[in-house]
Amino acid sequence: MDTGAGAGGTGVAVTAEDHGRGGSPGRGPGGGRHGAGGRGRLLAGLRRRLVKRRIRIRRTRGRRLRRALIVLLALLANLVGAAVVAYHLTKIPEPHPETAMQSTVFVDDHGDYLGRRGPVDRQEVPLSQVPRYVQEAVIAAENRSFRTDTGISPKAIARAAWATVSGGDRQGGSTITQQYVKNALLSPEQTLSRKAREALISIKLDRTRSKDEILQGYLNTVYFGRGAAGIQSAARNYFGVDAKDLTVSQGAALASVINIPSYYEKAGSDPKVTAKLVDRWEWVLDAMADSGAITSAQRAGARFPAFRFYPPGDTDGQRQYLIDAAASEAADRLGITEDQLARGGYTVRTTFDLTAQDATAELAADGTDKKTGKKTGEEKAAEAKAGGKKQAEVTASGDVRVHTAVVALVPGDGAVRVLYGGADYASQPFNDARDGAVEAGTALEPFSSMKLLAPLTDLTRTAAPTPLRLASAYATAAAHGVYATPYTVAKITRAGRTLYEAHPRTRTAMTRADAGMVAKFLYGRSDASLATQTGAAGLRTLWQTTYDEHLTLTVALFAEHPAKGKKAALPAPLPYTAESRSLSVAEGVWSKIVGTAEGHDPAAEPNPGLPTGQTKPILATR
């Protein structure tokens, strides 16, 4: 039965070998319909699922896009809403206190720059006082789309934001409006929040202020180098003129400086800096010509302007005496303190003649050469002429300090032209001409027998008047007895508005007859065209006064042994050169004042001085 089954069976029996190989019908590794067929069914299933997914994606794509768009729009709406809220909540801040500060500038009677007082070298001027071509030069250099933009530059903001995030270099390119906001209204730190606030304020400023208002604020606050904030101070510091007097070339040069003021401020003294600024200046002028801001003829005729030397020299030696006197008077006229005056941005036109003042300083210089310590030839000759004991006394007095005070004023008016109060303000801030008490001696002799009225009532009883007061007395005689209160401030303006203008304050202080007696006394003692008389108090002081109906000039000299330690200063005899020095100063200053006055003809000018036709200058004091 076994043999039959093995030979004639149907093959359904499984051998041990087959079982050991794991074989079974339809399941073997290589065989049966379940091998390759299973993989096929798997791939087919995957394909069906992918097809279904594609179909599902195609069917839902529109819905998904709509959802994404809704989310994006919602995000944008929130951002816009936040921006709108931020815009409405943003307030335009007031300018920084230091930005609002201004200096007060002092000029002489001819408008020449004398000096300034104040913590910041800045003066505001209305845009109407800045020539249009200067405005256009700044726009061409800094923001050519200023007239049409919305106050911001999106590209510049994005560039600056990226630089802040990435830690890159600081980026510029802001609009003029943004620069004004940054410099005058906000702090200078480079943060995203400050940049965002800057943009919001700039947009709001552009929407609520005119372009001219923004440009005016910018021009009055932007830094130009050389310590100058604002176009007015920059015009003075670079070219010695007011902003209203800038030329096309000068305006383009100042506009070019704004880019790197700390570098370009050396233009004119550093050839490399000057050459680089010239290139930028050419670029600005080309842009102005292209925009029609200047004509082709103006462009062709432009020449790079000459800059004032930088850094400037020290002017404290003399001019601070003048500024002290004028500042005190100006503050009094406005009813404010001198500190308020210094910070107020005023322009004080003084009565001084700066050319004559500088000449006085030169003429009144010490007779000893300050560099070598050697005596001048004039002083040596005087000492040799003195001879004997007197010569020895003069030579031994090497520690004697000679003081010179000079006052020149206008009779019948009171305007002070020269006020020389010392050789160097830095070493002696006390003004000998205005405040010094100089022993009169015989200087008041012409007034001794007359009755003087206020404010000269007690003059003859004053042992040591100030040079200013004595000059005022002789000016009264020159004006037929009319006393005019001395003044140093002619006019005070601010932002183009006149706040104060001087008018002579006069009163009768002596009779016309007495004034004539003074003139007769003085003319009777000299036959010279300029009668020269001297008054003195022993060897301690020396006075000289020259006057005619247009000018009164007083020179006073005195000497002292300077204070040492706890030892106070003591009077000393004047050197023997004092009289020649006094005469030299008087003649030199007189000719300088009369000679520098444009078209000045004393005989042709009305003045409440001496009798009509009498213009002969008189030098008198004894």
Mean pLDDT of all residues in 307-323: 74
The answer, yes or no, to whether residue 390 has pLDDT greater than 50, is no
Residue with token string 């552009």: 206
How much is the pLDDT for 126?
Answer: 93
| Range name among 160-169, 323-332, 436-445 with the lowest pLDDT average | 160-169
Q: How far apart are alpha carbons 317 and 357 in whole angstroms?
A: 12
**Please, which residues bridge with residue 531 across strands?**
618
| Range name among 54-68, 412-426, 487-501 with the lowest pLDDT average | 54-68
Report helix, strand or coil for 107. Answer: strand
Strands 416-420 and 489-494: unpaired
The answer, yes or no, to whether residue 385 has pLDDT greater than 60, is no
How much is the pLDDT for 332?
Answer: 97
Helices and strands (DSSP H and E) totals, the chain? 23, 14
The answer, yes or no, to whether residue 168 has pLDDT greater than 60, is no
CA distances from 30 to 18, 20, 35, 37 (A): 14, 16, 6, 11
The answer, yes or no, to whether residue 615 has pLDDT greater than 70, is no
Residue with token string 């065989």: 31
| Range name among 288-292, 410-414, 612-616 with the lowest pLDDT average | 612-616
How much is the pLDDT for 542?
Answer: 94
The answer, yes or no, to whether residue 187 has pLDDT greater than 70, is no
* Residue 193 vs residue 596, higher pLDDT: 193
- In what side-by-side order are the strands of the sheet with 497-501? 113-117, 104-107, 347-350, 489-494, 497-501
DSSP label of 368: B
How much is the pLDDT for 38?
Answer: 76
The answer, yes or no, to whether residue 386 has pLDDT greater than 70, is no
Task: Label residue 606 by pLDDT band (50, 70, 90).
Answer: very low
pLDDT over 70 for what percent of the chain? 75
Mean pLDDT of all residues in 400-427: 92
Taking all residues of the chain, what is their mean pLDDT, rounded to a whole number? Answer: 80
Peptide bond into 261 cis (omega under 30): no
Kindly tell me the burial class for residue 491, based on how many C-beta atoms sit within 10 Å of its own C-beta (0-12, 13-18, 19 or more): middle
Residue in 139, 306, 319 with CA at minimum distance from that of residue 238: 306
**Please, which residues bridge with residue 557 across strands?**
404, 542
The answer, yes or no, to whether residue 476 has pLDDT greater than 60, is yes
DSSP 509-537: -S-HHHHHHHHHHHHTT--SSSB--EEEE
The answer for residues whose C-beta is within 8 angstroms of residue 537's C-beta and 6 or more apart is: 439, 440, 441, 442, 443
Across 259-313, the runs of DSSP E, i.e. the strands, are none
How much is the pLDDT for 393?
Answer: 36
Q: Where are the alpha helices (DSSP H) in 120-269?
A: 132-142, 154-166, 176-180, 192-208, 211-221, 231-239, 248-257, 261-264
Task: Label residue 10 by pLDDT band (50, 70, 90).
Answer: very low
- Rg of the chain over CA atoms, in angstroms? 45
The answer, yes or no, to whether residue 565 has pLDDT greater than 70, is yes
- Which tokens hold the place of 134? 């200067």
**Whether pTM exceeds 0.85:** no
| Range name among 20-29, 239-248, 348-357, 396-405 with the lowest pLDDT average | 20-29
CA distances from 59 to 46, 49, 65 (A): 20, 15, 12
Q: How far apart are alpha carbons 350 and 106 in whole angstroms?
A: 7
Task: Label residue 215 by pLDDT band (50, 70, 90).
Answer: very high
The answer, yes or no, to whether residue 423 has pLDDT greater than 70, is yes
| Range name among 27-41, 147-161, 397-411 with the lowest pLDDT average | 27-41
How much is the pLDDT for 346?
Answer: 94
Phi-psi region of 53 (alpha: psi -120 to 50; beta: other; left: phi over 0): alpha
Task: Label residue 452 by pLDDT band (50, 70, 90).
Answer: very high
Please say whether the beta carbons of 509 and 482 come within 8 A: yes
Angle formed by the axes of helices 377-386 and 388-396, nearest 10° = 140
* Residue 44 vs residue 459, higher pLDDT: 459
Mean pLDDT of all residues in 168-195: 71
Q: How far apart are alpha carbons 433 and 321 in whole angstroms?
A: 10
pLDDT digits (tens, 9 = 90+) for 64-97: 777 778 877 777 766 666 556 555 556 777 777 7
How much is the pLDDT for 6?
Answer: 44
pLDDT digits (tens, 9 = 90+) for 84-141: 655 555 677 777 777 778 899 999 999 988 989 988 899 999 999 999 999 999 999 9
Angle formed by the axes of helices 132-142 and 248-257, nearest 10° = 30
How much is the pLDDT for 8?
Answer: 44
Task: Label residue 567 by pLDDT band (50, 70, 90).
Answer: confident
The answer, yes or no, to whether residue 225 has pLDDT greater than 70, is yes
pLDDT over 90 for what percent of the chain? 43
Report helix, strand or coil for 425. Answer: coil
Amino acid at 8: G
The answer for residues whose C-beta is within 8 angstroms of residue 441's C-beta and 6 or more apart is: 535, 536, 537, 538, 541, 543
Q: In 10 A of CB 4, how many CB atoms? A: 8
pLDDT digits (tens, 9 = 90+) for 325-338: 999 999 999 999 99
How much is the pLDDT for 3?
Answer: 45
| Range name among 145-154, 217-226, 244-253, 522-531 with the lowest pLDDT average | 522-531
The answer, yes or no, to whether residue 316 has pLDDT greater than 80, is no
The answer for residues whose C-beta is within 8 angstroms of residue 276's C-beta and 6 or more apart is: 264
